[in-house]
Amino acid sequence: MKAVVLVGGFGKRLYPITAEIPKCLVEVSGKPLIYWIIHYLRFHGVKEIILCTHYKHELIRNWLGDGSRFGVNIEYSYEKEPLGTGGALLNARKLLENEDWFYCMNGDILTTIDLKRLNVLTNKGVVGVIATVPLRTAYGIIVFGKDNSIERFIEKPVLWEYWMNAGIYLLSNEIFDYLKPKCMLEYEVFTQLEGTGKLKALQFPMSSWLSIETYKDVLKAEKETFYKAYARERVEIPY
């Protein structure tokens, strides 16, 4: 099964680092973010990878090449202009024509989500399965008692009653029927499928998950170890 990784964004919240390199080449623990993602996919048996690129795409190609040194095969789908996550996927359609199902993920995620578990929901009529993780707040919260008294503080709690889109999907080829040349998967395509039964979600309550949005996230990731277990060999970084 193939996997599509969306790496075309500008990474504006990581400026000025991303003024020089694309977000997926920002180093986390001494390796570009895409390095960890490729090894994560390979660990789950995915060796055919499509990268949807736009911003500074030539740097991505130069560093990754055909993927052979990572034990995978990499193909590229280049966007001449930003198309959004859905448009980028539509742009890669020709590379997915022979795939009944394929994985798709954002190119800024570190996680231990088990990709193969998403297959349990691929029933007839299902267009896509979204991996979800419990929502962790970015701030501490206050629990009130009577008369506005503070009973306790809870620092950045996990809100178990709310589940967040983890940016990892298993999609049927039928998803292309819902895509437009410029569109967002999250806000335009998936919302079309609300209430139809064609879109499923699977909960991963115990999986580690981190999205690299800002430099603060980079620093947080470098304190973690969960994603490092997927990569075994040493690959020199040529830039």
Known catalytic membership, residue 56 = no
How far apart, in Å, are the Cα atoms of 234 and each of 30, 32, 86, 223, 224?
11, 13, 34, 20, 19
Q: Is the dihedral of CA 24, 185, 87, 127 positive or negative?
A: positive
Q: Which of 34, 106, 20 is nearest to 74 (CA)?
A: 34
Q: Catalytic one among 156, 180, 216, 228?
A: 156
In this structure, the chain runs to a length of: 239
Q: Which helix (H) or strand (E) holds 87?
A: helix 84-91
Q: Which helix (H) or strand (E) holds 134?
A: strand 128-136
Q: Which of 6, 15, 145 is nearest to 89 (CA)?
A: 6
Cis, bond preceding 16 (omega within 30 deg of 0)? yes
5-43 residues labelled b (16+ CB within 10 A) or e (exposed): bbbbbebeebeeebeebbbbbbebbebbbbbbbbbbbbe
Q: What positions carry a catalytic annotation? A: 156
